[in-house]
Amino acid sequence: MDLTADTAQQYRDFALDARGYSPCFDDWATRVADDAEVLAWLERLPLAKRQPNLVLAAARWHGVAAPGPYAALRDALLGDDGTIEATILARSTQTNEVGRLATLVPAFALVAGDEPLALVEAGASAGLVLYPDRWSYAWETPAGVRRAGAGPDLGATVTGAAPLPASVPEVAWRGGIDLAPIDVTDDDRVRWLSFLVWPEHEERRARLARAVEVARADPPELVRGDLLEGLPALVEEAGRHGRVVVFHSAVAAYLSPEDRTRLHELMTGLVAAGRCHWISNEAPQVLPEVTAAAPVPADARGFVLGVDGRPVALAHGHGQWLRWL
């Protein structure tokens, strides 16, 4: 989904992402896209604040039941006394979907070599995805289930010759950067993360709760700052501990087109200098230089998983499937 698109198109795209996965959000987003009054209400907001998951989470935060009828959402937005709008303006999505590790770990394995990893997450939120070594994996392939760790805790359906590891990664250091990092001991902000999980997805909510427990027991090093400015210093720190891998998922979409280009230039420069590997996991249009670096299907949905600036796979946004190219 392109967060710079017009409001109705954002909701149409979101409905497609939710189709067959969240009936409630499919219905709500489809109806919003055709509802002139609700669109007018949304268009009072800054463009970056109109995104579906943020708006729908804010409505749910203030009591709109989901799953539930569209009429209740519509009434809440059009009758808002300013409380929903204030939440939208004050909060951000910052999803920490640990299910993505089922699609990221094969990319980690591709670059790991024989060294422990020093992981740097750009746009880390609470840093919950910085713990690939604390989960187990079950990858369903045409040849059968491949496992790593004692699990399975996380799983994905995999097609193509993905480098599925036989063991979980060894992580020597983990850190990240975010404009507003989430303290996992802050119950209010952790509760907000739970509202960003889609309505029918109780398994994802339970996984989030477990991930918070993991992070509270061993907090990562999270830095507050602009990733374009702060990543080089974090890469330098990580380099003292192991093979550096900078990664991000559904983060570059929140940058302006100009800053996306800056991110690409920064990361390809760091890779060329031998300072790190770079794993990007973003919608196809977000980092066009990565998407164009090798053949990607024109009708690709989900994320393009890139390694060092080249696409290697398509991946479901929440880690449900991986299609190695």
Interstrand relation of 137-141 and 117-122 (parallel, antiparallel or unpaired): unpaired
Encoded tokens for 143: 């040849």
The overall pTM is greater than 0.85: yes
Regarding the domain delimited by 98-324, which CATH topology (the fold level of the hierarchy) does it fall under?
Rossmann fold (3.40.50)
Query: How far apart are the C-alpha atoms of 208 and 204, rounded to whole Å?
Result: 6
Residue at 62: amino acid letter: H
pLDDT by residue for the chain (325 residues), tens only, comes to 666 778 999 999 999 989 998 999 999 999 999 999 999 999 999 998 999 999 999 999 999 999 999 999 999 999 999 999 999 999 998 888 999 999 999 999 999 988 899 999 999 999 999 999 999 999 999 999 999 998 668 999 999 999 999 999 999 999 999 999 999 999 999 999 999 999 999 999 999 999 999 999 999 889 999 999 999 999 999 999 999 999 999 999 889 999 999 999 999 999 999 999 999 999 998 999 999 987 877 666 789 999 999 999 999 989 999 999 9
Q: Where are the domains of the chain?
A: 7-90, 98-324
Query: How far apart are the C-alpha atoms of 287 and 261, rounded to whole Å?
Result: 8
Burial 179-199 (b: 16+ CB within 10 A, else e): eebbebeeeebbebbebbbbb
- Altogether, the residues listed in the chain come to a count of 325
Query: How far apart are the C-alpha atoms of 208 and 203, rounded to whole Å?
Result: 9
Query: What dihedral angle (degrees, nearest 10) is formed by the CA atoms of 8, 13, 17, 23?
Result: 30
Cβ atoms of 250 and 285 within 8 Å: the answer is: no
